[in-house]
Amino acid sequence: MPKQLFEMTAHELAGLLAARQLSARELTLAVQERIGAVEPELHAFILLTPDLALGQAEAVDRARSAGEPLHPLAGIPIAIKDILCTKGVTTTCGSRMLADWQPPYDATVIDWMSRAGLVFVGKANMDEFAMGSSTENSAFGPSRNPWDLDRVPGGSSGGSAAAAGADCCILAIGTDTGGSVRQPASFCGVVGMKPTYGRVSRYGLVAFASSLDQVGPITKDVTDCALLLGLVAGPDPLDSTCVDREVPDYLAALRAEVAGLRIGVPREFFEYEGVRVDEPVAAAVWDAVRRLESLGATWGEVSMPHLRYLIPTYYLIAPAEASSNLARYDGVAYGHRTRRAVSDIVDMYRKTRDEGFGPEVKRRIMLGTYALSAGYYDAFYQKAQQVRTLVRQDFMRAFADYDVLLTPTTPTPAFRLGEKVEDPLRMYLSDVCTIPANLAGLPAISVPAGCSGGLPLGLQIIGRPFAEETVLRVAYTYEQAAAWGRQAMPVSEVSGRRAVVQTAS
Amino acid sequence: MPAARKREQVRLSKEEVEHVALLARLELTAQEQERLTEQLNSILDHFQALSELDTSAVPPTSHVVEITNVFREDEPGPCLTSDQALSGAPDRVGDTFRVPRVVE
């Protein structure tokens, strides 16, 4: 059976569009039809933007007819995490606080994607203010995993990953503070990449933890990831932490070639506080190591002793930054304001924030405020920043001997809805394999690594700062060698309460 | 049995949780306060593991990118109009945000 349009990758479709065998309008309609069929069960989106999408698609078709030069991704439908500001289009960040907010400006990545002619199909669901690992913290209800509707798609960019995994878009974009692109990509059987901190502009990305947040692509294969990263990466005068550094041709880095590559396998990623990652998850990583070894790479085990302090370090730094960033939601300049009677302005702030924020956001604001408060700053926040230095040093030592590190993306495949909601600490532990790259600011990708019990697994590849090309090359080589690309990757069909996964045969 | 590793316990009382809530400009119901006291204590207990590390000689990392100040010429460029800046205001009067009285 030939592939449906919505199942295809951007680089496949780009050829058809350029050859005028397909119009952007036809492609957009095909994707919208797919969304119509599965969205009622999947709930990947907070807002669908069908008119905006068709307008953008028709503009691309007109430009092509007029012979104007177009970006290779012009006319390709993309799902946008609802944390990126879209001018005049409601941007909720998964929160009641911003339920009706229409930003007066575009995020830089939105502006660049818009100029390149990408087609915005909708704003994807997410955990409130990107705090969570399952989308269960969304004020607008959770998304479902396209491989099993009783399971979570991961988070916080769970809507983006579910949309990509269920072919409700060709490309998706998310943000990653402690794994929010890679963990859901792994759970939904797609590729997700967090670039080096400073590689992509954060302007117009609703801030969670500013020293950790980074925008990243969620795509159906590594080639599409390279294409989208190439578009959104690069210096931006509107973000002073966005590094002024040339963007390489990431597509040119995609050679199936790892001869001489040195792979480190850090043992701390396989066990945290005595809990080992699931056996099939570990087996998938070792399988990848052996495949790459057979292609000429060498490998060795490495130890990163300070990773055992990962969870406290991250869950002090991120909430501390969040408590400061989220102080802006005070019911004055934009967003929700209480309608209850108030005695004074502080009472107005407190009632507004009580109504606008959900339980996890309140918990993290409380934790962060406490960690920054007088008398506890040194013991908690300062201490966590010092341990962050030790974690970075562990990585730098590992990268003296190795070019990339191979690890699981998550300790388990997708878990069930409701399984961890009541126990915040257990939920936090689902990010143990992804957090290290955020603390150290390193580029890291998750690529599909087979299935266990009908659920996708992820392989994580971590590289040196700004070594996206190496990370992409290794991911591409593995993707080609493992050959579960998109062919063997089951295409999920949502029917009734369960997703029926058809294996290609 | 080897001597149990003794950690200094941080125990947040309900009063302290209420104080932090005031600092954070959050209003908590009695139920939320109780729940948060319990959850924050459990999280902070877990976080005491950090205290076993000697970090006296370790500099803190607040930021991983080695950039300090980024300068540009101070030239006016395009910016939001008052109407755009006020477009999301829950309550406005003319070109201003309206808030409850702050100064008596």
Q: What is the pLDDT of residues A436-461, one digit of tens each?
A: 999 999 999 999 999 998 899 999 99
Task: Please state the pTM of the whole predicted model.
Answer: 0.95
Domains of chain B: residue spans and CATH:
9-52 (1.10.20.60)
Q: Which amino acid is at A326?
A: L
Q: In this predicted model, which residue has the larger pLDDT, B91 or B10? A: B91
For the record, the structure tokens of A45 come out as 């989106």
Question: Does A357 lie at the interface with B, CB-CB under 8 angstroms?
Answer: yes
For the record, the structure tokens of A154 come out as 């991961």
CB A381 within 8 A of CB B54: no
Min CA distance, B4 vs chain A (Å)? 17
Could you give the CA distance from residue A128 to residue A123 in angstroms, rounded to a whole number? 14
Answer yes or no: is A186 within a domain: yes
Q: What is the mean pLDDT of residues A352-381?
A: 94
Average pLDDT along chain B: 87
Question: How would residue A499 be classed by pLDDT, with cut points 50, 70 and 90?
Answer: very low
* Number of independent structural domains in chain A: 1
Answer yes or no: is A145 within a domain: yes
Asked whether residue A492 carries a pLDDT value surpassing 50, the answer given is no
Q: What is the pLDDT of residue B9?
A: 63
Average pLDDT along chain A: 94
Q: What is the pLDDT of residue A493?
A: 44
Could you give the CA distance from residue A269 to residue B49 in angstroms, rounded to a whole number? 18
Answer yes or no: is A53 within a domain: yes
Q: What is the pLDDT of residue B70?
A: 84
Task: Give the model confidence (pLDDT) of B47-65 as tens digits.
Answer: 888 999 999 999 999 888 8
Q: What is the pLDDT of residue A50?
A: 98
Min CA distance, A441 vs chain B (Å)? 6
Interface test mutation site (partner B, options A245, A370, A385, A466, max chain B beta carbons within 10 A): A370
Answer yes or no: is A159 within a domain: yes
Answer yes or no: is A365 within a domain: no
Contacts of A347 in chain B (CB under 8 A): 27, 100
Question: Does A99 lie at the interface with B, CB-CB under 8 angstroms?
Answer: no
Tell me the residues of chain A between 260 and 299 that have a Cβ less than 8 Å away from chain B.
none
- Domain that residue A199 falls in: 5-266+400-502
Asked whether residue A483 carries a pLDDT value surpassing 90, the answer given is no
Contacts of A363 in chain B (CB under 8 A): 36, 39-40
CA B7 from centroid of its chain's CA atoms? 26
CB A121 within 8 A of CB A168: yes
C-alpha distance from residue B58 to each of A6, A223, A487, B67 (Å):
52, 41, 50, 20
Could you give the CA distance from residue A400 to residue A228 in angstroms, rounded to a whole number? 30
**Residue that has been written with the tokens 């269920």 in this structure:** A166
* CATH assignment of the domain containing A426: 3.90.1300.10
Share of chain B above pLDDT 90, in %: 63
Share of chain A above pLDDT 90, in %: 90
Query: Given its phi and psi angles, is residue A411 left (phi above 0), alpha (psi -120 to 50 degrees) or beta?
Result: alpha
Whether the complex's predicted ipTM is more than 0.85 is answered with: yes
Mean pLDDT lowest for which of A188-192, A250-254, B7-11? B7-11
Asked whether residue A481 carries a pLDDT value surpassing 50, the answer given is yes
Question: How would residue A490 be classed by pLDDT, with cut points 50, 70 and 90?
Answer: very low
For the record, the structure tokens of B95 come out as 């070109």
Answer yes or no: is A119 within a domain: yes
Tell me the residues of chain B between 5 and 64 that have a Cβ less than 8 Å away from chain A.
12, 17, 20-28, 32, 36, 39-40, 42-44, 46-47, 49-51, 53, 55, 58-64
Q: What is the pLDDT of residue A80?
A: 98
Q: What is the pLDDT of residue A375?
A: 86
| Vertex A347: Cα angle to A342 and A351 (nearest 5) | 85
Q: Report CB contact under 8 Å: A332, B90.
A: yes
Answer yes or no: is A389 within a domain: no
Q: What is the pLDDT of residue B66?
A: 75
Question: Does A342 lie at the interface with B, CB-CB under 8 angstroms?
Answer: yes
Question: Does A96 lie at the interface with B, CB-CB under 8 angstroms?
Answer: no
Question: Does A432 lie at the interface with B, CB-CB under 8 angstroms?
Answer: no
Answer yes or no: is A377 within a domain: no
Cα dihedral across residues A381, A386, A392, A394: positive or negative: negative
Task: Give the model confidence (pLDDT) of A71-108 as tens digits.
Answer: 999 999 999 999 999 999 999 999 999 999 999 999 99
DSSP 8-state assignment for residue B19 = H
Q: What is the pLDDT of residue B46?
A: 87
Could you give the CA distance from residue A304 to residue A286 in angstroms, rounded to a whole number? 18
